[in-house]
């Protein structure tokens, strides 16, 4: 298992971020800034471009990052499980499940919202 693999036994544990996903960066105090993951480094930290993805770049530890969840009709990336890395659009929410239309196909999947990340525009 490499550092990019999801932790076995828990979808909400470990660092399984992917490039192009929006995150909130918290670097101590109350200062929270949005950014876009550009690269996941071998130690689990991420290179994040602040703002909409064209701002200053910082390296942030996994505990400083929180994934921005998609809202209805927004593009997303599936970040864990057998569909890890697939992109799509959130077409609905049912409780804690997201209804996702997978890009490049007519497939509709029901996926736990905790493993969905909003993609940068």
Confidence of residue 120 (pLDDT cuts 50, 70, 90): very high
Confidence of residue 15 (pLDDT cuts 50, 70, 90): low
Residue 13 in this model has a pLDDT that exceeds 70: no
What confidence tens digit (pLDDT) does each residue in 42-86 have? Answer: 998 999 999 888 889 999 999 999 999 999 999 999 999 999 999
Residue 14 in this model has a pLDDT that exceeds 90: no
Domains annotated on the chain, with CATH: 75-118 (2.30.30.30)
Confidence of residue 10 (pLDDT cuts 50, 70, 90): very low
* Burial of 121 per CB tally in 10 Å (0-12, 13-18, 19+): exposed
Give me the residues paired with residue 68 across strands.
none
Name which of 85, 82, 80, 86 is nearest 113 in CA terms.
80
| Contact status, residue 35 vs residue 23, Cβ threshold 8 Å | yes
């Amino acid at each position: 298992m490499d550092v990019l693999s999801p932790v076995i036994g828990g979808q909400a544990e470990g660092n399984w971020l992917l490039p192009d996903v929006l995150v909130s960066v918290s670097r101590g105090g109350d200062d929270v800034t949005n950014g876009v993951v550009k690269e996941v480094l071998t130690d689990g930290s991420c290179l994040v471009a602040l703002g909409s993805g064209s701002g200053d770049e910082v390296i942030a530890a996994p505990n400083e990052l929180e994934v921005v969840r998609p809202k209805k009709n927004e593009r997303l990336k599936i970040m864990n499980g057998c569909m890890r890395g697939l992109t799509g659009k959130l077409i609905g929410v049912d409780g804690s499940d997201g209804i996702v239309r997978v890009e490049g196909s007519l497939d509709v999947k029901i996926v736990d919202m905790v493993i969905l990340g909003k993609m940068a525009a």
